[in-house]
Amino acid sequence: MKNRDTSGSSARKEIISLENKYIKAKTDYYRFVIRAEDKTMFSKIIKIPDSWENYKTGEGVYLTESMKSRLSDIKRKMSWELKLQSLYCIYVTSIENCMISVLQQRTMDKNDLGETVDSINSMIVELESELMNIKHLLLTLAKRSISDFYYLLSAYCKFFYKKNFHYETDMKIMMIEVVKLLNQQIVLIKNIKNFKKLNDEISPLFNSSTNELGWRMDEIAVKNFFEKDNQAAKMFEFNRLLKDLFEYKNTVKNYYNFLKYYYNENDGRLFRLNFVYESLKQKHEEEKMGRDTLKAFEEIRSCFIQYKSSFDAVGIAGFGDESITYLEVVHLIYKLCKIMEFYYLRNMKYDLLQNLRNDYLFYVEKEIFSLA
């Protein structure tokens, strides 16, 4: 049992390291490739005059009125796009990164979560007047591989709401859902601390075992544990913690299954990275794009593939908060159930015992077998 936990800790460190490497690759791509492209574009469009009235073309150059009109349209469009991107890019990427971190159950500061909630609420207000402009921005950011937020919300809608994402009607609903997700995490941060405290409290009452469940309860230690405390108050606390633990287990399982769905190579994140990579590779082969741009994107794609491979290898057992993974949550539920079962048997509370077994113990034993 100890070897498996140590191995799981090592795997978690590796996956977090690969995760950080992927984030750095995305940041570098934006900083050194996308911003350089924007600077080049800006230097070109700034040469187009705001007014053609007093403009003089160079020698041998002739511009028709149609050409001038077309150039003015390009300047307005590109200037607007760059302005829109500069206004909202940090907003969008920060919200996306925070949402992903919550789904991955990474350690987060509740103040950072609160600030992100404020940012989302501000963006929800902007949606009232900028709905279609923000859609254009999100799709542009996705096309340029700066952000995948549009498709993240789309996948979330499909997975949890079981319906296709229709931006015009669903965008605000999804943003409100993200606020709920982040606010829930603020509550979970406190709960996780309580789970960790509970684990530290009751784990000494169990010894690792070669049996299928991996643990053997020390009944004498449990008897002494109850006798040194107010038993009724302790059981009231245990019932509350058991309910919270089981709900948290199901929440983490949903997050894991969603990320598996969102990352997939058929129509998910990996699919989009592969699609863009093939498109950039073709442009490079046609000498329409430099090698540095392709190389920077190759790094993003390679880092994500490494991360996803590690994510799949670790599986749900090693998924979750760094201080208490999914497997550890399942084991903690089992230990708590066994202690409560011991109490109910000693005090002849057979109805409560049967409810405990039916509602929790049966399911958690089955899950331990499946995770072994």
- Domain locations in the chain? 2-371
pLDDT attached to residue 58: 67
Contacts of range 183-190, beta carbons closer than 8 Å, 24 or more positions apart: 183/113, 183/117, 184/251, 185/102, 185/108, 185/113, 186/110, 186/113, 186/114, 188/248, 188/251, 189/108, 189/110
**Cα gap 141→34, rounded to integer Å:** 10
- The amino acid occupying position 118 is D
With a CB cutoff of 8 Å and minimum separation 6, the contacts of 257 are: 159
Structure tokens that stand for 228 in this block: 């040194």
Q: Is 217 helix (H, G, I), strand (E, B) or coil?
A: strand
Q: Are strands 215-217 and 324-325 parallel, antiparallel or unpaired?
A: unpaired
> CA–CA separation, 147 vs 87, rounded Å?
14
The whole-number pLDDT of residue 245 equals 98
Which whole-number Å values give the CA distances from 64 to 61, 67, 69, 131, 348, in the listed order?
10, 5, 9, 36, 96
What is the pLDDT at residue 11?
80
- Mean pLDDT split into 10-residue runs, the chain, 372 residues: 50 89 94 86 79 71 78 78 78 94 94 93 91 92 94 98 97 97 95 96 93 91 92 96 98 98 97 96 92 94 97 94 94 98 96 97 95 84
Strand partners for 307:
none
Q: Two tokens at 75?
A: 């300047």
Helix (H) or strand (E) holding 84: helix 65-104
Q: Using CA atoms, how far apart are residues 201 and 237, in angstroms rounded to an integer?
A: 13
Name which of 313, 325, 320, 331 is nearest 368 in CA terms.
331
Structure tokens, 245:
């633990």
pLDDT number for residue 331: 97
pLDDT at residue 13, rounded to an integer: 86
Q: HSE-up of 212 (CA within 13 Å, CB side)?
A: 8
Beta bridge partners of 215: 208
- Provide the residue count of the chain: 372
